[in-house]
Copies of this chain bind each other. A is one copy, B any other.
């Protein structure tokens, strides 16, 4: 490939690809999109769009032909297709050996155990009886997860007792064929954190400040950056852990490490993601270099940019589909009410609970900034009575 890469292929046409495109324009990179449909979020704004099925090897091969590098809006491209691309001489970033850790939670848990990274006690369970044995040994409730195909709270179950042990195995049928069930210790966490890093092929890496994230029904709904109440040494330790995982797994691009923090301050890893991540959306407005720009710089093998804060506090709140369907009308209200709030709309039809945009407020005082961000998000959702 040419170094740095000039044409970046992105598989998947969601809002992550859409926001990557906005970041690609200034870098002078050519973004090429493989989209699920002609008018999905990113396809509305990118010049060079192929509509096709990312699970079809011939479609992906034709799309990738002419790209200097291929990267992703999501983690669902089958590993064998990615190996085919590499065999054909196309750079794939992150590569399939790294990406499998974001695709398969069983592989991820095994690898993190090898690395000594703190995780909930966990075990692959072949059937309900094994799950009951796990629960009786480690205590109930138990968290059960499908190893593949889960997202935004789907494919995760909290099981209160042995009588519910069959549930995840029923749920599995609707998910990936090659998925297994993982039983995990229930962590009584007080809050969730995200450690987001970006790594370049040669190993150069940057770590963003740690974010506190609010999850509602398994969906990230808000982040505060930097996470309040962390000591500087805790921040450094969490960043170092995420950088180490990125290096050991050979990640290129963004790695988001989702963490659960207990009352005593200790953390365990919940999930890994290898693409720009909802917990890093604040960086578009709140960091010197956004996660989208740094992801592109990483996969194109360009030097990474500063991940430093541009304001003391950034609060991002997701706009989920609510009672308001007229987002542009909502936007006019939001912009009239707050001259400094930043809005990203994703070009999606409003469906209840669907992520259709996000807002970011910046400032000095975490209370004020949080209130501004939520007020703007509520105006866009139409849930003023919340």
Q: Which residues of A does B touch, CB under 8 Å?
A: 2, 4, 6, 18-19, 21-22, 24-28, 30-31, 43-47, 49, 284, 288-289, 297, 301-306, 308, 310, 327-329, 331-332, 335-336, 339-340, 342-347, 357
The residue of chain B having its C-beta at the shortest distance from the C-beta of A38 within the complex is: B47
25 A-B pairs (CB sep. < 8 Å): A4-B328, A4-B331, A19-B26, A21-B45, A22-B25, A22-B26, A24-B45, A26-B343, A26-B344, A26-B345, A28-B327, A28-B328, A28-B331, A28-B357, A30-B44, A43-B47, A45-B47, A288-B340, A289-B340, A297-B335, A302-B335, A303-B332, A303-B336, A303-B339, A304-B335
Q: Decide: A25 near B30, CB < 8 A? Known: A303-B332, A339-B306, A340-B305.
A: no
Cα–Cα, bound, A302→B333 (Å):
9
Cα–Cα, bound, A344→B357 (Å):
25
Interface centre among A44, A346, A357 (most CB of B within 10 A): A44
The residue of chain B having its C-beta at the shortest distance from the C-beta of A336 within the complex is: B303
Chain A, interface SS category: mixed
- A335→B303 contact, CB < 8 A: yes
Min CB–CB distance A305 → chain B (angstroms)? 6
Interface centre among A22, A28, A284, A339 (most CB of B within 10 A): A28
Which residues of chain B have C-beta atoms less than 8 A from A347's C-beta? 28, 30
Which residues of chain B have C-beta atoms less than 8 A from A21's C-beta? 25, 45
Q: Among the listed B45, B302, B332, B343, which residue makes an inter-chain contact with A332, where contact means beta carbons less than 8 Å apart?
A: B302
